[in-house]
Amino acid sequence: MIKIVATNKKAYHDFFIEDSYEAGIELQGSEVKSIRNGAINLKDSYVQIKDGEAMLINTHISPYSKGSHFNPEPRRTRRLLLHKYEIRKLRQKVLEKGYTIVPVKVYLKQGLVKIEIALAKGKDAPDKRRTIMEREVKREMERHLKERDR
């Protein structure tokens, strides 16, 4: 069973999502408890590949309220657990085509915290407007179909 804890709506607004990967996150104990409570924010976070390792940067995990004063830094850099071939593939795409890697959602899968990261390409302002218009047209069509069925 999968329980989605957080999604990055801004990623879908700002980027074209090409490929997605599931990764584990290297966390400390109290961070896991905070994530289970939903105290995670992916808004301005991204993934960077350094020294053959994928690092999650600028993700805010609030300190656990019942934790001690040894709670880790909320915005610290965390290592992502991916296979070497996945890291190589991501690194190659980011270097050659101008892609970026963004976290899309965090979820619990069989008691483990997993993160879905995506290979993404940035949208221009006209692309963002087009996406908003398409979404509004889709909503309007669904509304008309719903009214017609009544």
Q: Which tokens go with 64?
A: 């656990």
How many angstroms from the chain centroid is the CA of residue 53? 17
Q: Are 59 and 5 in contact (CB under 8 A)?
A: no
CATH superfamily of this structure's domain 2-123:
Small protein B (2.40.280.10)
Q: Are 112 and 8 in contact (CB under 8 A)?
A: no
Taking Cα atoms as reference points, which of 131, 138, 96 lies closest to residue 16? 131
Q: What is the pTM of this model?
A: 0.78
pLDDT for res 127: 79
pLDDT for res 1: 82
Q: What does the pLDDT look like over 17-41, one tens digit per residue?
A: 888 999 999 988 788 888 888 899 9
Q: Which residues of the chain have pLDDT under 50?
A: none
